[in-house]
């Protein structure tokens, strides 16, 4: 295997007559920040669920971290991290307990968890709050903590499903700093978002429309190709032809 | 294995930090025991008996004194005539009355027989029947006392005994019922809510994406509630023994074993419910309402199942608490061993296996 950590070939998912994901093909390189855009109902979530090992494709091929999405779902799960649009830590557990829990679920040893959580808490500046319930933290901190927990076990790839929903612009910038840091450390970031300014931060972008990949390139190339000044307009031009709407 | 322990520890944190859950879990049995043990008792004790003594002779007075000395009645002699009694009945201030006519003692001594009238409020038939029984017993006893020499040539003396409950302690029937009810409600409601809460919060997604086995998620959810339910069962047992004077006759170990089985059955039903909904409220409603009514009606501790039309009797066969109730009654109150309850236990085991299989199967389907 080369340095491609996600490879999709003609990946398709059908629910009865409805083709949620229609022959999509792309690959993602190691340490890349890969933006996955699309209107609601375009098939992003379905595609992401397949890549996370939560659902089987109907046809096509795909490997994630070198593992087959049909046969090696368990191995995929060990090698990825995931953060959803809903806040996904336990509010009535403390910061440390959350870290310990998710570290434990991914099979890290207690000593390893302690070593890494000390470092993490220091890095996030949460030393004071380490023993406080997560529910008491401000939303921005919660999101940053959730991201740190998602990559706590050093996954090869982290899937972020609209991670910055409802977060203020400053925290979003800080959040993206963390994403860059993770990517620099070699973690591939697969991110869906509805914020087009965030799309500009990605190395490459796919835009899904009605289950198909309509565009796949760097933000710069896409803007040049469509002859527009922002990703917003690129997205609008692609997505307005969509027949499906709503998730 | 370590992952499972980490998960179970997390579940315990959830339970202990959620005051509402704890309150439901341990408040419910206490409230139920107190309610069923003291308030909702079917025993007749200290009931006010209106007595009109128009005879005012030795015999009437002796009988009244006997009544007074029993623990069943509080004698009220304020009423003087029949009309007052009927008014009191209409108002509901009197439930039962005993009337001695003029010349009661005279008739008894000279004619050899005399009449008294017992009035009861038939709108409460259970109470009415009990009062008549108690009064008849007192009158019969008095009759024998005053005629010791004149034995009838043939007499049949029924010797009554309430087996397993000689004192007529009304709590006895309720305790197994309360156990079934509390365990049923607590186990199904709390487990279903615990699973659904993760779905509602979005943490279930994270767990499913993690290498943690989905089936272990259910197991980890169920274990803390199993432990807490056993603690709960112990609490009910202690309350029963020390507060309600219930005598546990059978093997404690056997009680705990069958209770564990029943708890697992309830937990499985809770998990089944959690598969059908994504909202905590629906889960709570389904398990509270959906389980409470059948448990109350079809377990047999409030209404005798034998009197129900066959269709309801058939329904009662699929209610797990019905079988648990039978087992607990047999073991706890009658002191019977496993050889007497193996059939009921087998039925309960079958139900558990089916419920658990359905819960696990549906949980798997949701993943693909």
Domains of chain A listed by start with CATH number: 4-239 (3.40.50.300)
Query: Which residue carries 């197994």 as its tokens?
Result: B176
Is the separation of the CB atoms in B97 and B85 below 8 Å? yes
* Structure tokens that stand for B59 in this block: 């015999």
**Residue from the list A77, A85, A100 with its beta carbon closest to the beta carbon of B210:** A77
The DSSP output letter for B223 is H
Three-class DSSP labels, A46-72 = HHHHHHCCCCCCCEEEEEECCEECCCC
Domains of chain B listed by start with CATH number: 2-40+169-365 (no CATH), 47-146 (3.40.1710.10)
Which residues of chain A lie closer than 8 angstroms to B203, CB-CB?
88-90
A64 in the Ramachandran plot: left (φ > 0), alpha (ψ -120 to 50) or beta?
beta
pLDDT attached to residue A180? 95
Q: Is the dihedral of CA A109, A115, A117, A119 positive or negative?
A: negative
DSSP assignment of B50-106 equals EEEESS-SHHHHHHHHHHHHSSSEEEE----SHHHHHHHHHHTS-SEEEEEPTTHHH
Ranges of residues in chain A with a pLDDT under 50 are: 1, 247
**Residue from the list B9, B201, B211 with its beta carbon closest to the beta carbon of A77:** B211
* Structure tokens that stand for A165 in this block: 């929903």
Is the separation of the CB atoms in B80 and B52 below 8 Å? yes
**Interface residue of A73, A91, A105, A150 to substitute, partner B, most B CBs within 10 Å:** A105
Single out the residue of A188, A139, A135 nearest to residue A165, CA to CA: A139
Which residues of chain A lie closer than 8 angstroms to B208, CB-CB?
54
pLDDT digits over A100-112, tens only?
999 999 989 999 9
pLDDT attached to residue B150? 62
Q: CA A127, CA B182: separation in Å to the nearest integer?
A: 43
**Residue from the list B18, B202, B368 with its beta carbon closest to the beta carbon of A86:** B202
Which 57-76 residues of chain B touch chain A by CB within 8 A?
Answer: none
Residue A101 and residue B7: Cβ atoms within 8 Å?
Answer: yes
Residue A104 and residue B3: Cβ atoms within 8 Å?
Answer: yes
**Interface residue of B22, B208, B211 to substitute, partner A, most A CBs within 10 Å:** B211
CA atoms within 13 A of residue B261's CA, in its CB half-sphere:
23
Distance from CA of A216 to the nearest CA of B (A): 26
Query: Which residue carries 């023994």 as its tokens?
Result: B241
Which 17-36 residues of chain B touch chain A by CB within 8 A?
Answer: 17-18
B50 contact partners, CB below 8 Å, separation of at least 6? B76, B77, B78, B79, B85, B88, B94, B96, B97, B98
Residue A54 and residue B212: Cβ atoms within 8 Å?
Answer: no
What is the per-residue burial (b if ≥16 Cβ within 10 Å, else e) of B33-59?
beebbeeeeeebeeeebbbbbebebeb
DSSP assignment of B122-190 equals TTSHHHHHHHHHHHHHHHHHHHHHH-SS---SS--------TT-TT--THHHHHHHHHHHHHHHHHHHH
Single out the residue of A188, A197, A138, A181 nearest to residue A158, CA to CA: A188
Q: Nearest residue of A to residue B18 by CA position?
A: A92
pLDDT attached to residue B43? 64
Instruction: Report CA B358 to chain centroid distance, whole Å.
Output: 30
pLDDT attached to residue B168? 64
Residue B205 and residue A78: Cβ atoms within 8 Å?
Answer: no
pLDDT digits over B14-50, tens only?
888 888 888 888 888 888 888 877 776 666 677 888 9
Q: Which helix (H) or strand (E) holds A118?
A: helix A110-124
Strand order in the sheet with A80-83: A80-83, A157-161, A188-192, A33-38, A204-209, A212-217
CB neighbourhood size of B150 (10 A): 8
Query: Which residue carries 């419920």 as its tokens?
Result: B355
Helix orientation angle between A110-124 and A139-150, rounded to the nearest 10 degrees: 140
Residue A105 and residue B208: Cβ atoms within 8 Å?
Answer: no
Based on the number of CB atoms within 10 Å of its own CB, is A86 exposed (0-12), middle (13-18) or buried (19 or more)? middle
Q: CA B317, CA B321: separation in Å to the nearest integer?
A: 9
Rg, C-alpha atoms of chain B:
28
Q: CA A134, CA A98: separation in Å to the nearest integer?
A: 8
pLDDT attached to residue B29? 84
Ranges of residues in chain B with a pLDDT under 50 are: 368
């Amino acid at each position: 295997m080369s340095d491609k950590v996600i490879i999709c070939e003609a990946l398709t998912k059908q629910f009865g007559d409805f083709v949620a994901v229609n022959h999509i093909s792309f690959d993602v390189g190691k340490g890349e920040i890969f933006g996955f855009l699309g209107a609601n109902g375009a098939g992003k979530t379905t595609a992401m669920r397949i890549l996370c090992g939560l659902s089987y494709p109907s046809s096509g091929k795909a490997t994630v971290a070198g593992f087959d999405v049909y046969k090696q779902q368990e191995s995929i799960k060990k090698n990825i991290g995931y953060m959803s649009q809903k806040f996904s830590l336990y509010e009535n557990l403390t910061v440390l307990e959350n870290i310990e829990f998710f570290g434990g679920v991914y099979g890290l040893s207690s000593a390893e968890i302690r070593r890494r959580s000390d470092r993490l808490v220091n890095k996030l500046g949460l030393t004071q709050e380490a023993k406080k319930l997560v529910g008491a933290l401000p939303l921005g901190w919660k999101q940053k903590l959730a991201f740190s927990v998602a990559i706590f076990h050093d996954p090869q790839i982290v899937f972020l499903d609209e991670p910055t929903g409802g977060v203020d612009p400053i925290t979003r910038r800080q959040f993206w700093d963390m994403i860059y840091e993770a990517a620099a450390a070699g973690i591939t970031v697969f991110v869906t978002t509805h914020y087009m300014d965030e799309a500009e931060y990605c190395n490459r972008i796919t835009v899904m429309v009605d289950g198909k990949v309509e565009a796949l390139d760097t933000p710069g190339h896409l803007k040049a190709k469509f002859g527009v000044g922002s990703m917003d307009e690129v997205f609008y031009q692609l997505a307005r032809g969509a027949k499906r709407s709503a998730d | 294995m370590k992952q499972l322990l980490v998960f179970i520890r997390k579940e315990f944190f959830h339970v202990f930090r959620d005051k509402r859950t704890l309150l439901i879990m341990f408040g419910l049995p206490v409230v139920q025991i107190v309610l069923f043990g003291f308030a909702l008792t079917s025993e007749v004790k200290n009931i006010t008996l209106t007595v009109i003594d128009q005879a005012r002779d030795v015999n009437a007075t002796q009988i009244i004194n006997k009544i007074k000395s029993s623990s069943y009645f509080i004698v009220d002699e304020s009423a003087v005539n029949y009309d007052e009694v009927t008014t009191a009945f209409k108002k509901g201030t009197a439930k039962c009355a005993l009337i001695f006519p003029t010349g009661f003692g005279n008739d008894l001594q000279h004619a050899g027989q005399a009449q008294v009238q017992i009035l009861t409020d038939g709108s409460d038939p259970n109470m009415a029947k009990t009062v008549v029984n108690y009064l008849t017993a007192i009158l019969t006893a008095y009759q024998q006392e005053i005629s010791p020499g004149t034995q009838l040539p043939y007499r049949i003396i029924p010797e009554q005994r309430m087996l397993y409950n000689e004192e007529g302690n009304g709590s006895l029937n309720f305790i197994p019922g309360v156990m079934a009810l509390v365990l049923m409600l607590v186990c199904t409601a709390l487990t279903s809510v615990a699973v659904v809460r993760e779905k509602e919060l979005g943490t279930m997604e994270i767990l499913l994406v993690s290498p943690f086995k989905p089936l272990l998620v259910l197991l980890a959810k169920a274990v803390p509630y199993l432990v807490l339910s056993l603690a709960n069962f112990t609490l009910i047992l202690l309350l029963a023994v020390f507060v309600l004077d219930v005598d546990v006759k059978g093997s404690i170990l056997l009680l705990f074993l069958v209770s564990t089985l029943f708890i697992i059955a309830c937990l499985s039903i809770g998990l089944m419910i959690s598969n059908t909904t994504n909202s905590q409220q629906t889960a709570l409603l389904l398990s509270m309402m959906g389980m409470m009514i059948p448990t109350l009606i079809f377990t047999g501790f409030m209404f005798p199942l034998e009197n129900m039309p066959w269709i309801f009797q058939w329904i009662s066969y699929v209610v797990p608490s019905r079988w648990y109730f039978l087992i607990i009654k047999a073991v706890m109150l009658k002191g019977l061993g496993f050889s007497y309850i193996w059939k009921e236990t087998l039925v309960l085991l079958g139900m558990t296996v089916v419920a658990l299989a359905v819960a696990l199967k549906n949980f798997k389907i949701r993943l693909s």
